[in-house]
Structure 1
Amino acid sequence: MAVQPQCGAFTSKDSVNFNAGINLALIKTIYSFGDSWSSNGRQDGSPASPAVPQGTNPMYGRRASNGPMWTENLASNQRTLKSYAIGGATVDHNLWRARATKSDMVGQVDKFLSQRQPIASDSSLATIFFGINDYSSVSEGPGTLQQAANQLLKETDRLIGAGLRQFIIVAPYFNRSSFNTNFNNVVWNGFKNLKQSRGIKFAYVDLSSLFTAIYANPSSFGYKSTGACLKSASTTAGGCSNPDDFLLDNHLRDCYPLSSTGYRLTLNIIPNAWRPTGFAPS
């Protein structure tokens, strides 16, 4: 990697990269909750369609990308991925006037719990990646980012009650102190409390160092542009000839979904951020 993120300390009051006990070598099943940055096109944990093009449709297998998502690469080495992530999702759509008809983490957890699956706690992992759409909706209210962060912790507690004990939390990249203070730090400190009160293991991954470095020097990551390959959210017609040269898939979808290379970099930042044992990214 062209950038090596630094691990922080568990005692930090501000969110940092940190691994509190996750060993990916022991994980067999991954449950994914999030928005378009995580969605593989399925919303109920069922197997996803192949990430291949169909005509001029830019959604490869219903993904907001031209290839597999970071969660799918994380689930390599014969791990099973069960995804509940949905594009456009917030933590709780009731907080945001702009998202009144959109999906949210509350609904994703409801779906997961309704299936009453047996959970092997020692070999199961949940990934949680929210905040992008909450941030884009905050100007219209009526909710706050702190309310969204607290709701994320409540939904996590429901997952713990179902038997999940290991979590990866990914913090989205926003160069905004208000987001870090009112969302990321609340989530970080909340998970520290859950570790102490509920005995969970978790890893916290902050994408800021990765994307700051990409925007500062895209060529060091193999990009010719930090812009978008596509000109439209509905077709590949008129787009670039080599998507791997571009960081973004297209610039018209909510909050800039990545190209497949961008999602691979997102995956690669995880072991570099907290160096778990027994894991080599594919």
Structure 2
Amino acid sequence: MRAALLYITLGSTLASSTTPQKENNDGIHLAISPPCGTLSENVTNVNVGIDLRDIDTIVSFGDSYTDGGAHDGVLCLCLFYLSTENGTRAGGRITNGYVWIEHLANMTGRREALLMDYAISGAVVNASLWPNTAAATGTSASFVNEMATFQNQTHDNLHPDTTLYSIFFGINDYSVSLTQGNELPAAAEDLLGLIDVLTAPPYKAQHVLGLDDYGRGNRTMEGEVYKKIVFDGMDTRHRAALKENKIMKVAYVDFAPLWDAVFGEPGYTAFGYSSDGFCFPSAGQLTTVDEECLDPDTTFYWLHGHPSKQTHKIMADYVYQVLSRCRLQ
């Protein structure tokens, strides 16, 4: 199957630019700068070589935080349907508007960034690690399955020097691990193994972006070990590529400082929020009839544990700042 080209142009909602957009976003804004470091340190925000101005295609793998509604990398009306008049999910997204990766696609240096969306709500890295994944998350979706969908397509249009692979998992793995045993180290190794698939022929990926927000404001030793394995693994692969005179540019985005800032200091009001809560108490709620919050435009979460469209915008701004401010040569 040949994947259709999907060019995201958000029109009057977002104008293409090489800098984060200055639209009002209902007064919600990024109130902190992401801390930066290097790959040789503890887990931190870092960018080793990725320049968004070079990117004209983003291949996106992930869970509900990244799910734009397409699931198979091809054109879907969900990418343009944003109404939540009769339901909580804009075009199948687990939020009420565009997700962060859609905004980021519009922040590249190209007028129209191609976004290939494979992310699926509820996805873990490898469902076989968790025998009862479907019971816990409502789906058996996984990075393994998303990769299989990607591999079963023909991708003659992908060029290693202009394609960014975005990989954002861990939230559901962490949640499932709380009741089904700690397989997080194995999940981290499986994630790195799938990165190896992308960097090998025929894809020969040269730009890999890893992201994490496993605890959404909470930290555990097990979760931190998971992050560290992925972080160190990306460092190892980058260094190995250098020794072989190959190109592998990597970046890592840690959302923990952003969640810390909202729930701790300087606090949600510094970002323009009226609440750090949610509009709907269940991520599974499909209608907007009951229990919508009083101020959805200034509430941190839309569905329980899932960012509002305004939060997704500042997540994109955060990622953009990591890629621009935390960039090492």
Checking the alignment, whether the CA contact within 8 Å between 2:174 and 2:214 is kept in structure 1 is no
Match of 2:146 in 1: 108
CA distance in 2, matches of 1:274, 1:84: 22
> CA offsets per residue over residues 36-94 of structure 1, 9 Å max, x none?
00000111101242241254211100000100010101111410100100000000001
Q: C-alpha displacement at 1:176, in angstroms? A: 1.5
Q: C-alpha displacement at 1:116, in angstroms? A: 2.5
Is 1:221 the equivalent of 2:271? yes
Query: In the superposition, relative to structure 1, how do residues 179 and 206 fare at CA in structure 2: closer, same or farther (>3 Å)?
Result: farther
CA distance in 1, matches of 2:127, 2:115: 25
Alignment of 1:57-68 (within 5 A): 57-68=87-98
CA distance in 1, matches of 2:235, 2:150: 24
CA distance in 2, matches of 1:177, 1:134: 13
Letter in 2 for 1:9: T
Match of 1:97 in 2: 131
Alignment partner of 1:121: what SS? coil
Q: C-alpha displacement at 1:10, in angstroms? A: 2.4
Q: Which runs of 5+ in 1 are unaligned?
A: none
CA distance in 1, matches of 2:182, 2:278: 31
Letter in 2 for 1:80: L
Letter in 2 for 1:86: I
CA distance in 2, matches of 1:137, 1:82: 27
Alignment of 1:4-83 (within 5 A): 4-12=33-41, 14-48=42-76, 49=78, 50-76=80-106, 77-83=111-117
Is 1:166 the equivalent of 2:196? no
Query: In the superposition, relative to structure 1, how do residues 154 and 173 fare at CA in structure 2: closer, same or farther (>3 Å)?
Result: closer
CA distance in 1, matches of 2:321, 2:257: 11
Match of 2:229 in 1: 186
Is 1:260 the equivalent of 2:309? yes
| Farther-moved stretch of structure 1 (259-268 vs 162-171) | 162-171
> CA offsets per residue over residues 141-161 of structure 1, 9 Å max, x none?
355110000000001111112
Query: In the superposition, relative to structure 1, how do residues 54 and 225 fare at CA in structure 2: closer, same or farther (>3 Å)?
Result: closer
Checking the alignment, whether the CA contact within 8 Å between 2:39 and 2:231 is kept in structure 1 is no
Checking the alignment, whether the CA contact within 8 Å between 2:214 and 2:223 is kept in structure 1 is no
For the aligned residue pairs, the C-alpha RMSD in angstroms reads 1.9
Identity %: 32
Query: In the superposition, relative to structure 1, how do residues 140 and 127 fare at CA in structure 2: closer, same or farther (>3 Å)?
Result: same
Match of 1:250 in 2: 303
CA distance in 1, matches of 2:289, 2:143: 33
Alignment partner of 2:132: what SS? helix
CA distance in 2, matches of 1:179, 1:263: 26
Alignment partner of 1:275: what SS? helix
> CA offsets per residue over residues 116-168 of structure 1, 9 Å max, x none?
31220110001100000000011333551100000000011111122222011
Structure 1 length-normalised TM: 0.91
Letter in 2 for 1:188: F
Checking the alignment, whether the CA contact within 8 Å between 1:95 and 1:141 is kept in structure 2 is no
Is 1:3 the equivalent of 2:56? no
CA distance in 2, matches of 1:52, 1:231: 21
Q: C-alpha displacement at 1:242, in angstroms? A: 3.5
Alignment partner of 1:228: what SS? strand
CA distance in 2, matches of 1:170, 1:16: 10
Is 1:84 the equivalent of 2:118? yes
CA distance in 1, matches of 2:112, 2:128: 38
| Farther-moved stretch of structure 1 (93-102 vs 75-84) | 93-102
CA distance in 2, matches of 1:244, 1:173: 25
Alignment partner of 1:268: what SS? helix
Checking the alignment, whether the CA contact within 8 Å between 2:44 and 2:254 is kept in structure 1 is yes
Query: In the superposition, relative to structure 1, how do residues 230 and 137 fare at CA in structure 2: closer, same or farther (>3 Å)?
Result: same
CA distance in 1, matches of 2:129, 2:214: 21
Letter in 2 for 1:229: C
CA distance in 2, matches of 1:277, 1:141: 36
Checking the alignment, whether the CA contact within 8 Å between 1:24 and 1:277 is kept in structure 2 is no
Alignment partner of 2:116: what SS? strand
Structure 2 length-normalised TM: 0.79
